[in-house]
């Protein structure tokens, strides 16, 4: 018993002596360990906000409508009894608000297409108090992305990150102008990546976050804890109109690609075949016993690339090039990624026969401009 106690005391003494010698040799060791522990518990994101917030703007879009004069005033019977009355037409202003992000020193701004679509006056308010009329460079309703441009000097520019490197659980901050309160920051995490089939846009690859994105925040910035832009806030999924912890943002990599196309061409250049694709019905899938599935061609636009290639409604697309397809969204995205003019081999099933046709990819028509 005495030997055991003596051994324990000796071990403690040796340990304390070793720690004292180590601290004498490396005085900053204890502070380094404390700082390392503190880094695991971020107490503030103010540095990230200070870095990104100056480049986030408020966007106000409006359009003046001239209400039609009641045709009763032009009726001959009315004029006979009341005279030739010519009332002045009433004017009504329709306004929308949102947010945007200054992407470069040339004044290009990313925002949401649904904010400015159909509007003819766009005003941008900067965080430093400056205001400017914005020019609409282009709108892409297929991704709900629009590009504006303002003519001001010394513009704050946001730093862009890589949305492909985002992980579920990463801390993100949303900066925008909810309910026209003024610039507001909300915090959350990346809840999911690659959200599709939300029925919001044609091409969907949303970042889902529980950072509050309320009306007016659309077009604003979704940033990581170091201040880099990783997404453009797009919409909320809500049954009440307010945030319920499900916000959606367009990945910045996709938004930058759209912006580049719009600046260069005025619209996004995408491939197109002129088909309406649908999910293969279960009964057809059972009858054909297709191992990899397929996509049903529900309609073919007359004179379009698919029509010229000999495709017809009822065909089942098995492969586009070397890629097997089993989902309409997958097929549309694959076709859209091809450059116009590309010769595309398409393997289809017609009846019980597999047929290979070749179509020349055309430019996808631009809608909603």
Tens of pLDDT, residue by residue over 101-116, are 999 999 999 999 999 9
Q: Where are the alpha helices (DSSP H) in 94-184?
A: 113-116
Q: Which of 209, 265, 203 is nearest to 237 (CA)?
A: 209
Q: pLDDT (tens digit, 9 = 90+) per residue, 159-168?
A: 999 999 999 9
Per the listing, tokens 């694709």 go with: 277
What pLDDT is attached to residue 246?
85
- Report pTM: 0.77
- Residue positions annotated with a catalytic role: 114, 144, 218
The mean predicted confidence, pLDDT, of the chain is: 84
Cross-strand bridge partners of residue 296:
278, 316
**CA angle, 298 as apex, 341 and 285 as ends, to 5°?**
110
Q: Which of 110-119, 159-168, 275-284, 336-345 has the lowest mean pLDDT?
A: 275-284
Does residue 292 or residue 92 have the better pLDDT?
Answer: 292
What pLDDT is attached to residue 37?
45
Q: Name the 3-class secondary structure at 32.
A: helix
Tokens of 78: 């009315």
Give percent above pLDDT 70 in the chain: 78
Cross-strand bridge partners of residue 275:
300
C-alpha span between 84 and 306 (Å, rounded): 59
C-alpha span between 57 and 175 (Å, rounded): 9
Q: Which of 259, 257, 206 is nearest to 236 (CA)?
A: 206
Domain covering 163-257 in this structure, CATH number: 2.40.10.10
Give percent above pLDDT 90 in the chain: 59
What pLDDT is attached to residue 14?
54
Tokens of 336: 């859209």
Q: Name the 3-class secondary structure at 98.
A: strand
C-alpha span between 168 and 160 (Å, rounded): 19
Tokens of 136: 């609409």
pLDDT at 262 over 90: yes
Does residue 250 or residue 93 have the better pLDDT?
Answer: 250
pLDDT at 67 over 50: yes
- Please indicate whether the domains covering 163-257 and 271-363 agree at the CATH topology level: no
Domain boundaries defined on the chain: 2-39, 50-149, 163-257, 271-363
Cross-strand bridge partners of residue 354:
349
Q: Does domain 271-363 have CATH number 3.20.20.140?
A: no
User: What's the topology of domain 50-149?
Assistant: Thrombin, subunit H (2.40.10)
- 265, 298, 311, 347, 348 from 308: Cα distances, Å: 27, 16, 8, 15, 15
What pLDDT is attached to residue 34?
43
């Amino acid at each position: 018993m005495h030997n055991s106690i003596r051994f324990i005391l000796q071990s403690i003494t040796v340990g304390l002596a070793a720690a004292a010698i180590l601290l004498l040799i490396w005085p900053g060791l204890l502070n380094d360990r404390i700082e390392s522990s503190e880094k695991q518990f971020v107490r503030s994101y103010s540095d990230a906000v200070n870095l990104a917030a100056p480049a986030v703007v408020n966007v106000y879009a409006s359009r003046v409508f001239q209400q039609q004069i009641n045709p009763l005033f032009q009726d001959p019977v009315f004029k006979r009894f009341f005279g030739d009355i010519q009332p002045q037409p009433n004017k009504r202003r329709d306004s929308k608000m949102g947010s945007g992000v200054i992407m470069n020193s040339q004044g290009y701004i990313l925002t949401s297409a649904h904010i400015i679509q159909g509007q003819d006056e766009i005003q941008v308010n900067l965080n430093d108090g400056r205001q400017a009329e914005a020019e609409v460079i282009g709108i892409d309703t297929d991704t709900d992305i629009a590009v504006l441009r303002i003519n001001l000097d010394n513009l704050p520019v946001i730093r862009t990150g890589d949305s492909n490197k985002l992980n579920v659980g990463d801390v993100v901050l949303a900066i925008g102008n909810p309910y026209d309160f003024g610039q507001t920051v909300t915090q959350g995490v990346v809840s999911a990546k690659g959200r599709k089939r939300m029925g919001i846009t044609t091409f969907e690859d949303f970042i889902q976050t529980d950072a509050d994105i309320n009306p007016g925040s659309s077009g604003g910035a979704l940033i990581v804890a170091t201040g880099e832009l990783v997404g453009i806030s797009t919409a909320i999924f809500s049954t009440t109109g307010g945030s319920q912890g499900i916000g959606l943002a367009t990945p910045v990599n996709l938004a930058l690609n759209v912006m580049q196309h719009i600046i260069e061409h005025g619209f996004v250049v995408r491939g197109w075949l002129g088909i309406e694709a649908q999910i293969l019905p279960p009964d057809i899938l059972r009858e054909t016993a297709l191992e990899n599935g397929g996509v049903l061609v529900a309609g073919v636009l007359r004179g379009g690339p698919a029509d010229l290639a000999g495709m017809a409604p009822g065909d089942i697309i098995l492969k586009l090039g070397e890629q097997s397809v089993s989902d309409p969204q997958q097929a549309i995205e694959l076709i859209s990624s091809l450059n116009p003019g590309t010769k595309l081999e398409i393997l289809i099933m017609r009846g019980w026969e597999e047929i290979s046709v070749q179509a020349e990819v055309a430019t996808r028509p631009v809608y909603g401009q």
